[in-house]
């Protein structure tokens, strides 16, 4: 089943700058699609358009065959419940004046106002446990937590409304490597246990290979290539994708040193 269908999507900030140009793809239920590309390639702009935080210049975004741009307030409320976003900087994404319980419960208070206080507290307790955090931490504030804990709180806030799609805009780039692995494993668990679909935006190609079923490569706002993950990593067709994959550091430091020397020599020539 196709959940998300992006068709001929273009975004212009002015006549000289096209952030996205004729981007089209589909996302199936339970699928994780990685979106990669260098800074300025249009990755975050694509995420904002999908979340209807920004209007496209041309093209459309359809959720279950319904145009996101033309949704009325009731339809948009339902869409917000089914599609949630995780942000790049976990601490900046949390209101410093709200407790963790207030932060996590806020989407439910807006999207499910029929819930009483006891039902709300039960849902908060369940989702916080699933994120590996303690109920004793619910009355604390964001500045009292580490970056990894803040990202778990951000994921809990998104997951409490039981979405079908998570839009992840570089959710681990601001975290230490060891904490990155914990968050990626958490996302994998959510995918496997709940059949969650994801758009995973990242510049870390190793993480994308580990997490994603397919990969979309953006270059200057256009699709350079889209393919199954292993197909793309083993046999990239686009010259840009080939250069992008060549930039992944090798695990063997000796081989990596030799490769850097080879690059430097070819540049001198």
pLDDT at 198 over 60: yes
CATH code, domain carrying 218: 3.40.50.300
Q: Phi and psi dihedrals of 83, rounded to 5? A: -125, 115
Residue with tokens 């209007």: 55
Determine, yes or no, domain membership for 244. no
CA atoms within 13 A on the CB side of 87: 13
Determine, yes or no, domain membership for 66. yes
Based on the structure, what is the number of domains in the chain?
1
User: How would DSSP label each residue in 65-129?
Assistant: TEESTT--HHHHHHHHHHEEEE-SSTTTTS-TTS-HHHHHHHHHHHH-TT--HHHHHHHHHHHHH
Query: Cα separation of 217 and 207, whole Å?
Result: 14
Determine, yes or no, domain membership for 115. yes
- Residue 186 near residue 129 (C-beta atoms within 8 A): no
Radius of gyration of the chain (CA): 20
Comparing 43-52, 196-205, 253-262, which segment has the lowest mean pLDDT?
A: 253-262
Tens of pLDDT, residues 116-144: 989 999 999 999 888 888 888 899 999 99
Determine, yes or no, domain membership for 267. no
Determine, yes or no, domain membership for 63. yes
Tens of pLDDT, residues 12-36: 987 778 899 999 999 999 999 999 9
User: Which residue range(s) make up the domain with 206?
Assistant: 2-234
Q: How high is the mean pLDDT of the chain? A: 88
pLDDT band at 265 (very low <50, low <70, confident <90, very high): low
Tell me the mean pLDDT in the region 174-188. 85
Tens of pLDDT, residues 76-111: 999 999 999 998 887 888 999 999 999 999 998 888
| Beta carbons within 8 Å of 127's beta carbon, 6+ residues apart | 104, 156, 159, 160
pLDDT of res. 269: 47
Return the higher-pLDDT residue of 152 and 265.
152
3-state secondary structure of 235: coil
Determine, yes or no, domain membership for 242. no
Determine, yes or no, domain membership for 74. yes
């Amino acid at each position: 089943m196709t959940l998300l269908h992006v068709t001929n999507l273009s975004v212009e900030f002015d006549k000289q700058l096209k952030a996205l140009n004729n981007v089209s793809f589909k996302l199936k239920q339970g699928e994780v699609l990685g979106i990669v590309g260098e800074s300025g390639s249009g990755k975050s702009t694509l995420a904002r358009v999908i979340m209807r935080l920004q209007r496209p210049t041309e093209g459309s975004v359809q959720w279950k065959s319904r145009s996101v741009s033309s949704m009325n307030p009731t339809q948009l409320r339902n869409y917000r419940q089914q599609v949630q976003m995780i942000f790049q900087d976990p601490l900046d994404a949390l209101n410093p004046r709200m407790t963790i319980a207030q932060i996590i419960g806020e989407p439910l208070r807006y999207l499910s106002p029929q819930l009483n206080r006891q039902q709300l507290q039960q849902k908060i307790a369940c989702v916080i446990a699933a994120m590996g955090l303690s109920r004793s931490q619910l009355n604390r504030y964001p500045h009292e937590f580490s970056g990894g804990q803040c990202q778990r709180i951000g994921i809990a806030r998104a997951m409490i409304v039981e979405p079908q799609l998570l839009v992840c805009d570089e959710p681990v780039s601001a975290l230490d490597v060891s904490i990155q692995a914990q968050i990626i494993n958490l996302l994998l668990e959510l995918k496997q246990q709940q059949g969650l679909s994801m758009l995973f935006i990242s510049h870390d190609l190793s993480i994308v290979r580990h997490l994603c079923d397919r990969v979309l490569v953006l270059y200057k706002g256009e699709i350079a290539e889209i393919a199954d993950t292993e197909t793309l990593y083993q046999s990239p067709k686009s010259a840009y994708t080939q250069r992008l994959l060549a930039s992944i550091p090798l695990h063997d430091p000796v081989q990596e040193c030799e490769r850097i020397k080879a690059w430097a020599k070819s540049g001198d020539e």
